[in-house]
Amino acid sequence: MKKISVIALVGVGLLLASCNKGKSADTAATGQEQTVAESKGETLAVDTVGSVVNWKAFHKGGMAPRWGTLTVKSGDISVEGGQVSAGNFVIDMNSIKVDPASVTEKDKKPAELEAHLKTPDFFDVAKNPTSDFKITSVTDLKEAPKDAVAGANKTVSGNLTLSGKTLNVTFPAKVEVVENSAAIQAKFTVNRADWGLKFGTSEADPAEWMISKDIEIAIDVKAKK
């Protein structure tokens, strides 16, 4: 496992495919699980082909970033009065991919990292094949933080379940509703250890603790009638 842990380099993952070093998204406010918003109005099915979750993780200090994607397996967005009222998205953890462009070391392979992320060290996909996000509230955003997704106009809160643990996260998002369709885009940073994903965080092992706890997540979810 020692060899694989060095290959991993990343804590986990769900963000924006970008080769910039260091965080490029504000940390999401995290709290206890909240009541899921009631579905009202018209329900639009998530376009699983056009939707994606991007992730990015690093060594401490923003060094040696890794990034990739996850597939949105299913979900829906509820729209009432021209506004998003609720929504839920299921993520296929077996679909986790590492972008080969993020693995520049000759002795490391994207497929090995993907395999390690699926083990009990991280997501344990055999036990937890899916993760999900369920909206708890959508409110108007008065002023977007500088690192928010371009065009952010709402504050979205929702219950994010990773590896069987659920916490509520709040972040700025760009939410659009047009005739027969809706879309939600956002990018934010979370601390993977909050969900119990602590592999590589022990300061007792220098080969592991240098892996950052921060994970950037970028969601691009589209739904249509």
41 inside domain: yes
In this prediction, residue 163 carries a pLDDT of 93
Q: What residue numbers bound the domain in which 99 lies? A: 29-224
12 inside domain: no
151 inside domain: yes
1 inside domain: no
- Tens-place pLDDT, residues 54-103: 999 887 666 678 999 999 999 999 999 999 999 999 999 999 999 999 99
CATH number of the domain at 87, please: 2.40.128.110
Structure tokens at 197: 């994903």
pTM across the whole model: 0.84
158 inside domain: yes
Q: How many domains does the chain have?
A: 1
Number of C-beta neighbours around residue 27 at 10 A: 15
- Tens-place pLDDT, residues 7-33: 343 333 333 333 334 556 889 999 999
- Tens-place pLDDT, residues 91-125: 999 999 999 999 988 888 999 999 999 999 899 99
- Tens-place pLDDT, residues 147-166: 999 999 999 999 999 999 99
